[in-house]
């Protein structure tokens, strides 16, 4: 039997373990916000992995956003050493899940099995991927006990809220230093035959227009910040949106609509603050002296963040020329540089070869429209040899009745085991 076949039968022999592990993980409701049961899931995995020979460490991200005595930000890093020196392959999964939301017909934390699917919040994003990587490591360790280097498995907090209490914290502690870890796979749900090389960039900003308050019956005595903002939005429609649509990237972003630069206005608010639903009074007549929008600009690897920001400043200046009384402020809220691992990188090459060997078809290369924890591994960890690869359909993430297919998990676990064999020798 060749190695791929042996690894495949080692995974098949663990099919029930894989199902049980996925179910156990789903049944720990690690809701974020606020960050529930992080310690419980880390303790559970630490016990599971220590039984299989891993050294485990629980690391709390003290002082990270959201970290408190009630909701501590716990992370788990498990490591196993091979027989000889060599590279370290690291599987990083986030253990947090988003809110349940409405529209479920299954128990969100029941991990119900129906046909070849396991249902539950986090099944697809990404406890199925976490379980698949653990089983892949187990099958590899059994099949190739004499391997070189080391394997790490981490389960980290807060990916859904930016990753600052998770991968960013670990990266700051040097956990993703290229002298310590050489290859990283993040088993996010990106389809079992696709390799995700990276993501687009992000800039969030708040734009505020300023006017002057006056009585609403005599608006000519004031200066409406809402009308100034309306001019800003018209200018965006007329000049900025067409400009962004014309910028197309060479990055293989999916879905295809995200191959252009995009801009979303997340929110708009002007004038008096909104009252609660239980307030029964009438509003007062005032000219709005402030109007704010929050923009979410996603940019391409071909673009420069300074130019992206200058587009908005130029636009605001054009509006100001037409409306001399208007004033504005722009506040940066959040920014992430785009990242894309090269196709020639060792982790990409060995995963592509493993996909072909296991699934009998060529791997597709994709880039994510939004960011995920790869940003911290790249920017803080300075580690470029990183991809996202894992079971499940991205479209199901954060949806009601989220599920993961068992065959997707066994197939991608086989791919991951084969990647270990390729990178750590057999
Ligand atoms: Zn995820």
Would you kindly state where each structural domain of the chain is located, as residue ranges? 3-199+338-424, 201-272+283-336
201-272+283-336 matches 3-199+338-424 in CATH topology:
no
Distance from the CA of 31 to the center of ligand 1, in angstroms? 13
Q: Which of 189, 173, 204, 202 is nearest to 377 (CA)?
A: 173
The answer regarding whether domain 201-272+283-336 maps to CATH 3.40.640.10 reads no
Residue 413: C-alpha distances to residues 7, 151, 259, 303, 388 (Å) = 9, 15, 30, 36, 14
Token pair listed for 94: 């986030």
pLDDT digits over 286-320, tens only?
A: 999 999 999 999 999 999 999 999 999 999 999 99
Ligand 1 midpoint to CA 54 (Å) = 24
Q: Cα(121) to centroid of ligand 1, in Å? A: 11
What spacing in Å lies between the alpha carbon of 167 and ligand 1's midpoint? 13
Q: How many residues does the chain have?
A: 426
Residue ranges of E strands in 226-286: 262-270
In what helix (H) or strand (E) does residue 299 lie, and over which residues does it extend? strand 290-299
Q: Beta 84-94 vs 113-114: how paired, if at all?
A: unpaired
pLDDT at position 242:
98
In angstroms, what is the span from residue 290 Cα to ligand 1's centroid? 37
Give the HSE-up count for residue 77: Cα atoms under 13 Å, Cβ half-sphere: 18
Dist. CA 398 → ligand 1 center (Å): 9
Residue 280 CA, ligand 1 centroid: distance in Å: 42
- In the chain, which stretches have pLDDT less than 70? 426
Give yes or no for a contact between 204 and 294, defined as CB atoms under 8 angstroms apart. Answer: yes
121 neighbors 26 (Cβ within 8 angstroms): yes
Q: Can you tell me whether residue 41 is helix, strand or coil?
A: helix
Q: Distance between CA 35 and CA 31 in Å, rounded? A: 5
CA atoms in the 13 A half-sphere facing the CB of 319? 25
Beta bridge partners of 156: 94
In the chain, % helix, strand, coil (3-state, to 5) comes to 35, 25, 40
Distance 160 CA to ligand 1 centre (A): 7
> CB neighbours of 283 closer than 8 A, spacing ≥ 6?
272, 275
* Ligand 1 mean position, distance from CA 124 (Å): 8
Which tokens hold the place of 426? 């057999």
Q: What is the 337 CA–ligand 1 centroid distance (Å)?
A: 19
* Ligand 1 centroid – CA 412 distance (Å): 16
Nearest residue to 15 via CA among 403, 359, 404, 406: 406
Write down the residue that tokens 């999916």 correspond to.
254
CA of 358 to the centre of ligand 1 (A): 24
Distance of CA 425 to CAs 55, 135, 208, 292, 422, Å?
Answer: 21, 18, 57, 57, 6
Task: Give distance in angstroms: CA of 154 to centre of ligand 1.
Answer: 14
Q: How many Å lie between the centroid of ligand 1 and the Cα of residue 65?
A: 19
Which pTM does this prediction carry?
Answer: 0.90
Contact 174, 111 (CB under 8 A): no
> Residue 73 C-alpha to ligand 1 middle, in angstroms?
17
Q: How far apart are CA 373 and CA 184, in angstroms?
A: 11
Residue 338 Cα to ligand 1 middle (Å): 18
pLDDT tens per residue, range 247-290:
999 999 998 999 999 999 999 999 998 888 899 999 899 999 99
CATH number of 3-199+338-424: 3.40.630.10
- Output the CA 302–ligand 1 centroid distance in Å: 26
- Cα 165 to ligand 1 centroid, rounded to whole Å: 15
The rounded Å distance from CA 336 to ligand 1 centre is 17
Residue 11 near residue 139 (C-beta atoms within 8 A): yes
CA 264 to centroid of ligand 1, rounded, Å: 21
Between CA 314 and CA 318 the distance in angstroms is: 6
List the beta bridge partners of residue 151: 80, 89
Calculate the alpha carbon distances from 18 to 134, 216, 262, 420 in Å. 9, 65, 39, 18
159 Cα to the center of ligand 1, angstroms: 7
Distance 131 CA to ligand 1 centre (A): 14
Q: Provide the pairing of β-strand 84-94 with 148-156.
A: parallel
Q: How many angstroms is it from 316 CA to the middle of ligand 1?
A: 36
DSSP code of residue 223: B
Write down the pLDDT at residue 275: 86
pLDDT at res. 251: 93
Instruction: Give pLDDT, residue 426.
Output: 55
Inter-residue contact 423 to 351 (CB < 8 Å): no
- H or E, element range at 333: strand 327-336
* Ligand 1 center–CA 396 separation, angstroms: 11
Per-residue pLDDT, 7 = 97
- CA 159 to CA 370: how far, in whole Å? 12
């Amino acid at each position: 039997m060749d190695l791929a076949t042996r690894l495949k039968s080692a995974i098949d022999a663990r099919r029930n373990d894989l199902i049980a592990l996925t179910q156990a993980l789903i049944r720990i409701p690690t809701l974020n916000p606020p960050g529930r049961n992080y310690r419980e899931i880390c303790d559970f995995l630490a016990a599971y992995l220590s039984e299989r020979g891993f050294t485990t460490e629980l690391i709390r991200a003290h002082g990270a956003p959201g970290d408190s005595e009630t909701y501590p930000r716990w992370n788990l890093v498990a490591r196993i050493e091979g027989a000889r020196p060599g590279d370290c392959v690291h599987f990083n999964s986030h253990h947090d899940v988003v809110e349940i939301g409405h529209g479920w017909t299954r128990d969100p934390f029941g991990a119900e099995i129906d046909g070849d699917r396991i249902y539950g919040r986090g099944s697809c994003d990404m406890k199925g991927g976490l379980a698949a990587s653990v089983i892949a490591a187990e099958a590899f360790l059994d099949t190739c006990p004499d391997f070189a280097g080391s394997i790490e498995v981490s389960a980290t907090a807060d990916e859904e809220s930016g990753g600052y209490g998770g991968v960013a914290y670990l990266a700051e502690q040097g956990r993703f230093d290229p002298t310590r870890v050489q290859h990283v796979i993040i088993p996010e749900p990106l389809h079992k035959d696709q390799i995700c090389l990276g993501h687009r960039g992000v800039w969030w900003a708040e734009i505020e227009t300023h006017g002057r308050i006056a009585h609403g019956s005599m608006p000519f005595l004031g200066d409406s910040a809402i009308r100034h903002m309306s001019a800003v939005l018209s200018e965006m429609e007329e000049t900025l949106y067409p400009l962004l649509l014309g910028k197309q990237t060479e990055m293989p972003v999916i879905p295809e609509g995200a191959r252009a630069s995009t801009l979303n206005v997340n929110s708009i608010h002007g004038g008096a603050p909104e009252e609660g639903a239980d307030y029964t009074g009438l509003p007062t007549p005032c000219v709005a002296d402030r109007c704010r929008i929050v923009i979410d600009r996603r940019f391409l690897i071909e673009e420069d963040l300074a130019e992206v920001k200058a587009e908005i400043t130029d636009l605001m200046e054009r509006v100001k020329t037409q409306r001399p009384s208007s004033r504005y402020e722009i506040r940066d809220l959040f920014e992430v540089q785009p990242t894309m691992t090269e196709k020639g990188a060792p982790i990409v090459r060995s995963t592509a070869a493993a996909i072909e060997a296991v699934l009998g078809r060529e791997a597709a290369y994709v880039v994510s429209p939004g960011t995920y924890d790869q940003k911290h591994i790249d920017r803080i960890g300075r580690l470029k040899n990183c991809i996202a690869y894992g079971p499940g359909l991205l479209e199901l993430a954060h949806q009601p009745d989220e599920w993961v297919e068992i065959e997707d998990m066994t197939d991608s676990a086989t791919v991951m085991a084969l990647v270990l064999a390729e990178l750590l020798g057999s």
